[in-house]
Structure 1
Amino acid sequence: MSDLTIPAPSSDPADADFRLDAPGEIMNWMRELLRSQARVQLSTPEGEAIHTVLRALDTPHGMLTMEAPRAGDTLAPVLASDELVATAYLDRIKLQFDVSGLVAIHGDGAEVLRAPMPLRLYRFQRRQAYRVASAGQLYPALKLAQADLPRIRVVNVSAGGVALQWPANVVPVPRVGEEIAATLELEREVSFTTLLRVQHMADGDAGAPHQAGCAFVSLAPTAARALQVFIDQAQKRERLMRRDA
C-alpha cells in the first residue's frame, strides 16, 4: 500500500470518499485501534516521529491515551510541534488523523500521552483490490432493468465493480464494452441502481453460465456509501474470523 498524505479540508465530493466526520464512526475506528493494539506513528512536518499504541479511550471527555516512548529525547520535538499527524494500519486500511493538544502526563507510575479525540478521520484502503465473495445464492445479485429477466448471481463485489455468473439462457449476452443498467442488491435491505461496463466475458461450456467482469461507470454518493459500508463490514467479519481461528 502506498503512503498517502492527508488532503486539506475540502468540500470536494471526492474528498468525502476518504473523510469521516461522524463522531460515532470515528469512535468505532478508535476502538478498532485499541482492540488490535496496532502501532500508531505520530509524525511532524519536519520528519520527527515516534511510534506508540492506544492504551485507553475516555469517551465521556473525548480523550485518547497513548503509550509514551521510553526514549524521552524522541518525544520532545513531537510534543513541541504545532502540526502532528497520526498514521496507523488495520489490514488493508490506512487511518490518518490530525493530533492536537498532545501532552505527556504521569499516570499509574508511567508516562503516557493524552490528546483530544480527532474531529476528522481519513481512511484510505486498496478498495479496488479487496473483493467480497458471495456468501449465498440470493445475495448479492444484479436485477436487470428488463423486468422479465431473472436476477443475475454476483460472485464477488469490490469498490471497482462486480463479477457475475451470466446464465447462458439470458440473451443477448452482453459484449465487452457494453453498459448494463441494473440494480445491485447487496443484501435484502440494501440495494442501489448503477451503470456497469463489461470489462471481460468468458463463455461457459455446455450451457454453463458465462463469467463476466464489470466495472462501475458511475455511483451516486449514497450508493458509494452503501457499498463502502458493505465492504467494511465484510473486512471486519474477516478480521474477527481470523482472530477467533
Structure 2
Amino acid sequence: MPFDPEYLLSNPVDIGSALRELTRSTDRLMMTAAPEPIAVTVCSVQVRTRTFRFHPYAPKELGRLLALPAFSFEGSAFGAQIAFEAGPATLVHPDEDEGLNVPVLECAFPAQFYRMQRRQHVRVMARPGSHAVWRCANGGEVKLRIFDVSLGGVGLRSRLGPEELPRVGTRLEGLQLDFQDGGSVVADLLVVGVYEATEHDFTHGQIRYLHMGCAFAQEDRQRERFLERLVRQLETRNVD
C-alpha cells in the first residue's frame, strides 16, 4: 500500500489492537474491492489465531463478498484514517459458533495496517467500565461512561436525554475519572461539544448515546504524566 511507512503497523498485537478499535467505532468501514463500495462492520478479533470477523450492513452483500479473493478496507476510527488489505475470507454460520446470530466472514490479519492519527492529541478507547460520576445541580449523581481519552480531554457518553446532561460551555469541577485498572485522576472539565452517536452492537443492534466532548480546563503536569502512561498502555494493550 502506498502509505507513509511511519503509520504502517506490522506487529500482530498492534494490528489486533487497531482492528479491535473498529469493533467499537461509530464510523463506517468501506470495502473498495467490489465494483461498488460496501459498508461493513468488524464484529470480533482474535489475536491468538490472528483472525478477525466482519459482515456487511446489508445481508444481501454476503455472497458477493465471499466470492472475492481479496478485500481493500478504508475508513476511519476515533479520528484516525485507516486502510488495510485482507482475504480471502471463509463463511462462518451461527450453527458453527453459538455466539453468532448471523453469518459472518472470517479473515486472517492483514500483513500491514495503515493507521494515521490526525488529531492534535492521540485519542484512544478507554477500557470497558471506565466512568466518571457527575453531580447535578439538584444534588443527584449521574454515572457517565468514559468512551475515549487523550492528553487534551475525554469523551463521555450516556443514554440520558440532553435535558438531563451538561450542555456545551458547562464546567465540570472536581470530576473523578476512573479508568479501572489504569488508575484514576481528578480533573476539571469543560464541555466543548455535544452530539448524538450511534454504536453498533452485534447482539442488540444500533444503540443511541449522547456524546460529550470534554477538554481539560486547567494545565496539570502531574495529570499529563498520568495520562501519557495511560494512553501508552491503552495503545499497546493485548486485545485478545
**TM-score, structure 2 length as denominator?**
0.46
Greater strand fraction, Structure 1 or Structure 2: 2
Higher relative contact order (CA 8 A, sep 6+): 2
Query: Larger Rg: 1 or 2?
Result: 1
